[in-house]
Amino acid sequence: MAAASSAPASPDAKPKAGKDAGKDTGNHSKTAASDAKADASDAKPNASKAGKAGKVSATPAPAAPAAPTPPPAAPGAAPKKAAKVSSTSSKAAASSAPTGGEKPLLSSTVIDEIAEATLKEGEVAEKAASNPNTTFERRMGAALIAKLDSMKPDPKEKDKQLAFIRKLDKNNDGELNKMEFRTAVRTELQVKADNKEIDEYFSLLDADKNDSLDVNELKVAFKKLIDAAQGAADEAALMRNKAAKIREKAAFIKEVAEATRACERADARFAELRGVKSVDAKIGEKIISRNLKVAEVMTKWDKSGDGSLEADEFRDAVLELGVEAAPAEIDALFVKLDTDGGGAIDVSELRTFVTKLTDAAKNAAMEMKELEKSTLALRKAATKAQKDLTTLKAKDEKEAKEGELAADESAKATQGAKADDKAKKKDEKAAKKKGAAAPS
């Protein structure tokens, strides 16, 4: 049952309650007083975005998360009070939710997932760098380079490639047949491969298709193999560099996640402190907000002047302060203060209680002020970090697109060169055939 029904207010009580309620909400927080007016217009969008972001839980209300329900003892003051409380709540919500046109921050969990995915990308690049010789040609080229480097100088032949070709030519006919080529691959170069793979590459090198490789064809083959191996080595170096950059990127993303996590923790703590409060905490805040002295509190509350407070006097006094609380909560606090169970609170005991309340409220206000300041700073840091991450992502996407375009151009150029080479060989073959057919 509402307090007003057990202790009807006097004709002067309603105007007083309305005045006090306005005064109370105007001074709801000393730290927010200078911002209350400016924040009033932003209260509703900020509160809405806070709910959308899911970062801060607050006491639900139509206008703003922290907007309380008007006190039952002063219904006439409810519209004005609700508006002012929402302006104060908007400032609290601003520390944990984006304002204006800002986008909500990504959660630390999402950023952690991005960091893990980036690390895996780095591992793939590292693996590719550690094993660049993924084709038969690259393996052959790497083995050939190692073999030539290990060969001792031959006084009869300074050209190591020619010296190695003579070594491979077991029957000294100046050519390598398919069987000799297989032996060279497996024995001299120690490359593991099946006959099909070796024979296919032999056919590729056999330009005149006579089932043998002469010195000129072998020299062309050696150059092709060495170029492939060197290309693989260059590719491996690029992949190692790429892997290092990816690891640096992953480390940066983890830093962004930590900054966001710190912001989330501060948001949660801020929401906790400005959330549902006990009745005694609310009373302390109201006493401080009205700058009431302990003696004034006692004089105002003890309506009968008998030096003690009965349950109905206590309930009316609390509601008159503008404290939003159910009658049952107020009555429970009264029972707690009535230590002897006599149905009345001694004024001296109440004085101690009020002093304790105001001290606690002052400490809570200071903590809220410091926490609000640190929360805003953490949000600013997290926002900057995420903007840097977005910039980095855009840069990576641009570089990737440029790389794809360059690769396409290179592929077209290679394809064109091959077509030109094929046409040239075709013309040479036709000319040779024509020359052979001409009468001498």
Higher per-residue confidence, 45 vs 377: 377
Secondary structure of residue 365 in the 3-state scheme:
helix
pLDDT tier for residue 306 given thresholds of 50, 70 and 90 = confident
Is residue 226 located within the same domain as residue 362? no
User: 392-409, pLDDT tens digit by residue?
Assistant: 889 888 988 888 888 888
Residues, the chain, total?
Answer: 440
CA 299 – CA 318 distance, rounded (Å): 14
CA 228 to chain centre: 41
Is residue 153 located within the same domain as residue 32? no
Is the pLDDT at 9 greater than 70? The verdict is no
Q: What percent of the chain has pLDDT over 90?
A: 25
Its domain, for residue 298, covers: 3-98+276-384
Is residue 341 located within the same domain as residue 196? no
Is residue 82 located within the same domain as residue 130? no
In a domain, 393, yes or no: no
Mean pLDDT computed over 151-168: 84
Classify residue 5 by burial, with Cβ atoms within 10 Å: 0-12, 13-18, 19+: exposed
In a domain, 427, yes or no: no
Torsion of CA 161, 164, 165, 166, to 10 degrees: 130
Domain limit, last residue, from 357, 384, 411: 384
Is residue 116 located within the same domain as residue 249? yes
State the CATH number of the domain containing residue 28.
1.10.238.10
In a domain, 379, yes or no: yes
In a domain, 403, yes or no: no
Mean pLDDT computed over 257-265: 92
Mean pLDDT computed over 295-323: 84
Is the pLDDT at 433 greater than 90? The verdict is no
With residue 175 as reference, give the H or E element that holds it: strand 175-177
In a domain, 115, yes or no: yes
Cβ atoms of 77 and 70 closer than 8 Å: yes
CA 24 – CA 161 distance, rounded (Å): 96
Q: State residue 93's pLDDT score.
A: 37
Is residue 116 located within the same domain as residue 244? yes
Q: State residue 256's pLDDT score.
A: 94
CA 317 – CA 302 distance, rounded (Å): 9
Q: State residue 268's pLDDT score.
A: 86
In a domain, 394, yes or no: no
Is residue 189 located within the same domain as residue 56? no
Q: State residue 255's pLDDT score.
A: 93
CA 171 – CA 315 distance, rounded (Å): 116
Encode burial over 242-279: b for 16+ CB neighbours within 10 A, e otherwise: bbeebbebbebbbebbebbbbbbebbeebbeebeebeb
Give the Å distances, CA to CA, from 198 to 81, 165, 217, 379, 410: 89, 17, 16, 63, 29
Residue for token pair 């497996």: 186
Q: What's the mean pLDDT when you consider all of the chain?
A: 75
Q: State residue 363's pLDDT score.
A: 79
Is residue 270 located within the same domain as residue 284? no
Domain limit, last residue, from 275, 306, 321: 275
* 3 state SS for 248-268: HHHHHHHHHHHHHHHHHHHHH
- Based on C-alpha coordinates, what's the Rg of the chain? 43
Is residue 190 located within the same domain as residue 229? yes
Q: What percent of the chain has pLDDT over 70?
A: 75
Phi/psi of residue 207, nearest 5 degrees:
-65, -40
| Amino acid making up residue 124 | V
Give the Å distances, CA to CA, from 397 to 119, 257, 391, 402: 17, 21, 10, 9
Number of structural domains in the chain = 2
In a domain, 429, yes or no: no
Residue for token pair 């005045």: 19
Is residue 84 located within the same domain as residue 137? no
CA 151 to chain centre: 55
In a domain, 161, yes or no: yes
Domain limit, last residue, from 252, 275, 298: 275
Is residue 163 located within the same domain as residue 251? yes
Mean pLDDT computed over 29-37: 37
Is residue 245 located within the same domain as residue 301? no
